[in-house]
Chains A and B, each alone.
Chain A
Amino acid sequence: MSTTTQTRTAVVARGLTKVYGTGDAAVHALRGVDVDFAAEAFTAIMGPSGSGKSTLMHCLAGLDTVTDGRVAIGDAELTRLGDKQLTLLRRERVGFIFQAFNLLPTLTAEQNIRLPLEIAGRQADQALFDRVIETVGLRDRLGHRPSELSGGQQQRVAVARALISKPQVIFADEPTGNLDSRSGAEVLAFLRRSVRELGQTIVMVTHDPVAASYADRVIFLRDGLLVSELERPTPQTVLDALMALEA
């Protein structure tokens, strides 16, 4: 949190470059991004369509390989790892919340929540499990399958799943993109509470200024470059910053 005098960094990116394709067809999605994400903080990544914000998140999370530059989560250098180690790193240190299709349809809510731990062969901390379930308010829906849950409930299950393995960082990609505004607000409130109360680190990609205003800090991308940032954002300041980008 910004009040802490000594801010630890959870994720570091230096000179991050990502090029898709080669020759004339080459698309430079990221053109050398230097950025730090503070631990136990809620950071939002914003930018117009095609600015590279999703690519940045994928590279930071070890889902995609980088063309140049380096990424580290804690003491792990992602850019040196092969697919197998990247997978294990995601398993141990990273949590995900996607815009849609977050849950396996064959599993119940509880099984979905416990899935990352089971893949890693770890036992869930029962106290933490209870606390997370309380936080997201899913106690009475645990036995339901995703098809029996509302969109907001599904997203809360996804949040709980990301929290349960106490990852070093949670990456959220437009987590409220498919939700109505009330459900969206609920999910964002949970994300903020998990940072405040559980000391979680969250990096969220969004194009919604209201969603971004739940974060402690917002960084802005344009054409694959980090162009500005904003501390303690409000919907209005975020909107202003976006307008400035477009100009």
Chain B
Amino acid sequence: MFRTTLAGLLAHRLRLMLTSLAIVLGVGFIAGTFVLTDTIDAGFSRSFAADADKVDVVVTPADDADAEDDGILPERALAAVRAVRGVRDAQPVLSGDAPLIGRDGKVVGDYPTAGVSIPASRMKITSGRAASAAGEAVLDKNTAKAQGYAPGATVAVLDKAGKRHEFRLVGIFDVGLDQNLAYRGAVAFTPETARLVTGAKGFTEIDVVSSGPTPETLRTAVAAAVGSGVKVMTGRERGDELARSNHVDTAFLRTGLLLFAAVALLVAALVIYNTFGILVAQRTREMALLRCIGATRRQVFASIVLESAVVGLLSSVLGLLTGLGLGAAAVAALKAFGADVPTGTVSLSPQTIAIGLCTGVVVTMAAALLPARQATRVPPVAALGTQAEEHTFRTGVVRVVFAALFTVAGAGLTAAGVLQSPGQAALLTVMAGGVLVFFAVLVLGPVIVRPLSGLAGWVPARLFGVPGRLAVDNSRRNPKRAATTTVALTVGVTLMTFMSVLTATVRSTVGDQLDRQFPADYILTAQTGGIPRSIADSLRASRDLSSVTEFRGKKAKVNGHDYEVGTVTRSALGTSVRTEASAGTLDRLGVGNVAVADYVAQDLGVKVGDHVTVTSGGRSVPLTVVAVLKAGVSLLPPFTMAEQTFEQRFGRVDDAQILVNAAPGVPAERARAVVDDATAAYPAVKVGSTTEIRGQFDEAIDTVLMVVTGLLALAIVISLLGIANTLSLSVHERTRESALLRALGLTRPQLRGMLSVEALVLGLVGAIVGVVLGVVYGWAATATLTQDVSFRLPVTQILVFIAASGLAGVLAAVLPARRAARASVVGALAAS
């Protein structure tokens, strides 16, 4: 039997290729994921190791250092280290805020630029040189590029007190793997200057170079010298530690990508299942002949399973190679887009090979089990039959019962999830319901594919005349095959629709929230420190602005717990700042009173009428709760008091945030100019508009949608392979039918058109089911996210999905259709 199977496989190399392509892509995705993450991991380890070799011992604050001293090494530690015998050099690393002022006169970025001092040995200067004098600074290359600064330029930063200092830029450096610096941007100074500018009281790290002793010996000596509260490691140990923490990041990336790979493999399994089903049906006579000449059922079964094992193994090997290519391409793409990701050599690890091979073979064999069982049911007498039976399909009782069970259970779980209060548990319940409903669709597929293809084919059947009508008939000729073919596409379309509904809804919900929380045209924030009170005063003086709302806050202990205590311009309450009280009222917010956010009230167990004790600076004062406010409606702090009360307790505090509204009828440019003028003298005060915030948010959402869609595209491609496969095998089965139609006067383009329409219908059916499932579950999932979700249906995107699925189906039909049309009429008629 083994030899028969192999001979059969070799005789049908093309068929083998078609079947295996789906698995090749699925395994390729998995292997590619591992190759990519392994490469990044290796790159991180290597560069950390390289960095680590430059220093022998590293002193850092202990992980469990008390939050009071901010995890900083005291200055005396440096002197202590330098005094240790065997220390040739010890250099401190300093880090703090040094907001860089950009070319527009405002501080750069959302977060203050880091002001650092890094030992020259560890600093990667890309042009110019390191700072060596007080008036010199070095800028990280990304910020330098974004702001257009080159060595020789003068740059300005704000010091801790908000005072402006100018420096001569002497070089550009690469922050390397420090993600914090990479994100915020960094200006490097000499240690003394860095301390002056940032106000840093100590060091974040001390790098020690040995004058002779081994790193291990020196580590012990240094540890003894600096005492407790610090962590002393050799350079190598530090490198390993950093690499490990980065490994966690790549593990996240890996898990995420593998989820998509799993989807692709599920689709591939469906395609393989279908293909083997068709192959078995086509080889009925072959099987029967084997049975006639004495093969047992077991042998027939084994031969199919063996075939699937060989196909699985070959495709997995090809998949591994594909994965290597994909991984290398991803690495190259990352580099091309300038991502700061170190990369090692691209290679397949033994682990990747094992996982890829196992997954590919197991999935292929599992998908072939049912078709193999089908093959054992072929009676020997079938070898004598002349014509393949037309596949009839009757809806079995078992099928209906199973479908009903899955539907009821799935719908029940989904409903339960939606009715639950929002949260992760609700979302998981909904998703579990979704999986069950998907099973119901899988089981019910052959039943619903008939009416659906009628629906999807309604227009094509009328548009394309006889070929169109024949195509629609053909598409539902073998409902089981059509169902499995389309379900593969359904998986991808469901997930895409789901994502697009989810993102559209999140977008509109967050938009609504932004409108509610920032009922303002402009928002003023300070990157460091606060907003001087004079700004609000000067804004109020302008007639072009209708309202100016100040928010002030301070940390304090309330009933012994740390909370933000704040105040807001009184007149804004109920107008610019919308509030909703779940108990009590803000109208009575006066001296000695406080309003509490609902979640805090719950945590502290206080209600309207209770007293809370606010402690700050060693003084305590009791306040009466007059209102419990719904959080999420406004941006009020956990405890809000009247302005006078706040002022009495905390003195004149700078504003944390100012909301500004333009007066009615004032053009946006004029209002903006007023706000810009008022803040021009304060580089740290940034002006934002709600439109900008929404734009940034929209951009982020679009990126997420794009990445997810891109990753799901592979599943779609695999399902298209399935459509192409089904069609080409149908073409093969219907050779004589096509020849008859050609004899009766169907032209070649018409025959091609007929197959295209059939594929179009299959694609549309898959898309329709997918869109329905995706929309329903997108809705259900958003219902579990938060309260008051504003559901949005991305109609255009969904129509695009449907149209694209149909079009993709037509594309999948191109090759099979060409082959069908090219066949000679006489040859096909003679073939039996």
Partner of A118, one of B387, B465, B737, B825: B465
Is B83 interfacial (CB-CB < 8 Å)? no
- A98 on the interface (CB 8 Å rule)? yes
Task: Please indicate the chain A residues that have their CB under 8 angstroms from the CB of B745 in the complex.
Answer: 87-88, 90-92, 116, 119-120
Contact pick for A90, options B465, B473, B744, CB 8 Å: B744
User: Knowing that A92-B745, A104-B470 are A-B contacts, what are 5 other residue pairs whose CB atoms are under 8 Å apart, sorted by A's residue number?
Assistant: A63-B825, A64-B824, A107-B470, A119-B741, A119-B744
B740 within 8 A of A: yes
Q: Is the CB of B829 within 8 A of A98?
A: yes
- Residue-wise, chain B 792-832 has the 8 Å CB interface mask toward A (1 for contact) of 00000000000000000000000000000000111001001
Q: Does any Cβ of A come within 8 Å of B160's Cβ?
A: no
- Contact status B744-A115, CB under 8 Å: yes
Residues from chain B with Cβ under 8 Å of A121 in the complex: 465
Contact across chains for B741 and A104 when beta carbons are under 8 A apart? yes
Residues of B within 8 A of A116 (CB): 744-745
A109 to B318, CA, bound (A): 49
Indicate if A106 sits at the interface (CB-CB under 8 A).
yes
Give Cα distance in the complex from A58 to B387, angstroms.
Answer: 23
The answer to whether B747 touches A87, judged by C-beta atoms less than 8 angstroms apart, is yes
CA distance A66 to B465 in the complex (A): 32
Give 9 closest A-B pairs by Cβ, nearest first.
Answer: A91-B745, A106-B473, A87-B747, A118-B466, A64-B826, A58-B826, A90-B745, A63-B825, A101-B736
Q: Which residues of B are found within 8 Å of A118, using beta-carbon distances?
A: 465-466
- Please indicate the chain A residues that have their CB under 8 angstroms from the CB of B832 in the complex: 100
The verdict on B295 contacting chain A, using a C-beta distance below 8 Å, is no
* A235–chain B nearest beta-carbon distance, Å: 28
Known pairs A63-B825, A88-B747, A98-B829; A107 contacts B737 (CB<8 A): no
Interface centre among A83, A84, A87, A101 (most CB of B within 10 A): A87
Report how far A83 CA is from B750 CA in the complex, Å.
13
What's the least CB distance linking B597 to chain A, in Å?
68
The residue from A90, A104, A147 contacting B737, defined by CB atoms under 8 A apart: A104
**Residues B748 and A87 in contact, CB atoms below 8 Å apart:** yes
Interface residues of B in 68-82 (CB under 8 A from A): none
Instruction: State the Cβ distance, A215 to closest chain B Cβ, in Å.
Output: 22
Give Cα distance in the complex from A104 to B737, angstroms: 7
B734 to chain A, nearest CB (A): 9
Q: Which residues of A contact B (CB under 8 A)?
A: 58, 61, 63-64, 83-84, 87-88, 90-92, 96, 98, 100-102, 104-107, 115-116, 118-121, 147
B-chain residues with CB within 8 Å of residue A102 when the two chains form the complex? 740
A83 and B748 in contact (CB under 8 A), knowing A101-B737, A106-B473, A121-B465?
Answer: yes
Contacts of B379-393 to chain A: CB distance below 8 A? 387, 390
Q: Would B474 and A106 count as touching, CB distance under 8 A?
A: yes
Chain B residues closer than 8 Å to A101, beta-carbon distance: 387, 736-737, 740
**Contact residue among B740, B743, B748 (Cβ-Cβ distance under 8 Å from A104):** B740
CB distance from B744 to the nearest CB of A (A): 5
Q: Given contacts A63-B825, A104-B470, is CB(A119)–CB(B390) below 8 Å?
A: no
Chain B residues within 8 Å of A119, by CB: 466, 741, 744-746, 750
The interface residues of chain B lying within 8 Å CB-to-CB of A92 are: 745
In the docked arrangement, what's the CA distance between A102 and B744, Å?
Answer: 10
- The total of chain B residues at the interface (CB under 8 A) is 25
CB distance from B727 to the nearest CB of A (A): 16
Does the CB pair A96–B743 fall under 8 Å? yes
Does any Cβ of A come within 8 Å of B477's Cβ? yes
Instruction: Answer whether A96 and B747 are a contact pair too, CB < 8 Å, given A121-B465, A147-B390.
Output: no
- Cβ of A84 and Cβ of B748 under 8 Å apart? yes
Q: Which residues of B contact A58 (CB under 8 A)?
A: 826
Known: A90-B744, A107-B473. A115 touches B825 (CB 8 A): no
Docked Cα-Cα span, A96 to B826, in Å, equals 13
A and B contact pairs by CB, cutoff 8 A, 26 listed? A63-B826, A63-B829, A64-B825, A87-B742, A87-B745, A87-B748, A90-B745, A96-B743, A98-B743, A98-B829, A100-B387, A101-B387, A101-B736, A101-B737, A102-B740, A104-B470, A105-B477, A105-B737, A115-B744, A116-B744, A119-B741, A119-B744, A119-B750, A120-B745, A121-B465, A147-B390
> What residues of chain A lie closer than 8 Å to B742, measured between beta carbons?
87
- Chain A's nearest CB lies how many Å from the CB of B829? 7
Task: State A84–B466 Cα separation when bound (angstroms).
Answer: 17
Residues from chain B with a CB closer than 8 A to the CB of A61 are: 743
Q: How far is the CB of A157 from chain B (nearest CB, A)?
A: 13
Which residues of the partner chain A approach B829 to less than 8 Å between Cβ atoms? 63, 98
CA distance A121 to B467 in the complex (A): 11
Are A98 and B744 in touch, CB under 8 angstroms?
Answer: no
Residues of B near A88 (CB, < 8 A) are: 745, 747
Q: In the complex the two chains form, what is the Cα distance from A143 to B744 in whole Å? A: 21
In whole Å, how far is B751's beta carbon from the nearest beta carbon of chain A?
10
**In the complex, what residue of chain A is closest to B392 when comparing beta carbons?**
A147
Q: A84 vs B750: C-alpha distance in the bound complex, in angstroms? A: 11
A85 to chain B, nearest CB (A): 10
A87 with B740: CB separation less than 8 A: no
Bound-state Cα–Cα, A26 to B745, Å: 30
Closest chain-B Cβ to A19's Cβ sits at a distance in Å of 14
CB distance from B152 to the nearest CB of A (A): 74
Q: A115 with B466: in contact, given A98-B740, A106-B473 (CB under 8 Å)?
A: yes
Q: For A98, list chain B residues within 8 Å (CB).
A: 740, 743, 829
- Among B466, B474, B736, B750, the one with the most A-chain Cβ atoms within 10 Å of its Cβ is B466
CA distance A64 to B477 in the complex (A): 30
A212–B747 Cα distance when bound, in Å, is 33
A106 to B390 Cα, complex, angstroms: 9
Beta-carbon nearest neighbor of B476 in chain A: A106
Smallest beta-carbon distance B464→chain A, Å? 12
Of B736, B744, B747, B748, chain A has the most CB atoms within 10 Å of the CB of B744
The answer for the CA separation of A98 and B748 in the assembled complex, in Å, is: 21
Kindly state the separation between the CA atoms of A91 and B745 in the bound complex, as whole angstroms: 4
Known: A58-B826, A98-B829, A119-B466. A63 touches B473 (CB 8 A): no
Name the interface residues of B735-766: CB closer than 8 Å to any CB of A: 736-737, 740-748, 750
CB-CB < 8 A to A63: which residues of B? 743, 825-826, 829
A64: B residues at CB distance < 8 A: 824-826
| B746 nearest CB neighbor, chain A only | A119
* Chain A residues whose C-beta falls within 8 Å of the C-beta of B750 in the assembled complex: 119
B460 to chain A, nearest CB (A): 15
Distance of A182 from chain B, by nearest CB (Å): 21
Distance in angstroms from B743 CB to nearest chain A CB is 5
Q: Using a CB-CB cutoff of 8 Å, which residues 555-604 of chain B contact chain A?
A: none
Which residues in B have their C-beta under 8 angstroms from that of A104? Answer: 470, 737, 740-741
Query: Quick one: closest B residue to A85, CB to CB?
Result: B747
- Give chain A residues whose Cβ lies under 8 Å from the Cβ of B824: 64
